[in-house]
Chains A and B, each alone.
Chain A
C-alpha cells in the first residue's frame, strides 16, 4: 500500500475557481510531518508548508489553505480563486521518524493542476 496517496492525477479548473487537492497518508508513527511542494514546469520543487502530527489547526496563507485531519489521515490543500500561475504539479509528502532507521521523506505521485484562463 502506498504511504502517501494522491488519488487525483490531473485536475483542470477555470481561473478564479477554488480547487482542492487531496492527500491521504499512512503511518504507524505518532510523530510525523506532512509537507506540500509545488513543481512548476521549470522543474524545481518549491516548499509550501510543513505540519507536524500534533498540530491539527488548519492553516491559511493568502489564497492557500490546508486542512489536516488525523481521524481520516488526510492533509488536503485548497487554492482559492485559482490563477493561471498556479498551474503545476503538486506533491504531498510524509516524513516519518522510523525507529532504528534514518528519517524517510515519502512523496505521493503528484497532482497535475491546470488552471485555464
Chain B
C-alpha cells in the first residue's frame, strides 16, 4: 500500500511550458508539503498546507504555484521554469504540523527543464 502517491514520476518540460505536479495522500492526514531536492543540496521545504490553508511559503519564486483543494490532494503548478529548477520534487503529508508529527513522503517527480 502506498500512502502518498505522486504523478507524474518523470517530467521533461521546456522553459515556456505549463505543467502541474499532483500529490495524493491516503493516510487521513491534514497537512501536506512540497519539497525540492537538488543534486548535492539538502532538502528544501517549499510550501506547507494545513487543513487546506497555506501556512508556509519558503520564499519560493512565483513560477511555482501550489494548490490544495482538500486535505488529500496537493498540486504544484509550474510555468516559465528555468533549467536550475530541474530537481526531484517530493510531496509529504503528516497528521498535523506539530513537532511530533512524522512526515511521510511520496516517490517524487523528477523534473527536467530544458
Residues of A that sit less than 8 Å from B by CB: 31-33, 35, 37, 42-47, 50, 52, 91, 95-97, 102-105, 107-110
A108 with B107: in contact, given A33-B100, A47-B102, A50-B102 (CB under 8 Å)?
Answer: no
Q: A102-B56, A107-B43 are in contact. Are A33 and B108 (CB under 8 A)?
A: no
A-B contact count (CB 8 A): 51
Could you write out 21 A-B pairs with CB less than 8 Å apart? A31-B99, A33-B100, A42-B107, A43-B88, A43-B107, A44-B106, A45-B92, A45-B105, A46-B105, A47-B104, A47-B105, A91-B43, A95-B100, A97-B98, A102-B56, A102-B97, A103-B101, A104-B45, A105-B45, A107-B43, A109-B41
In the bound assembly, the distance between CA atoms of A74 and B97 in angstroms comes to 24
Q: Is the interface of A mostly helix, strand, loop or mixed?
A: strand
From 57 to 114 in chain B, residues with beta carbon under 8 angstroms from any chain A beta carbon are 88, 90, 92, 97-108, 110
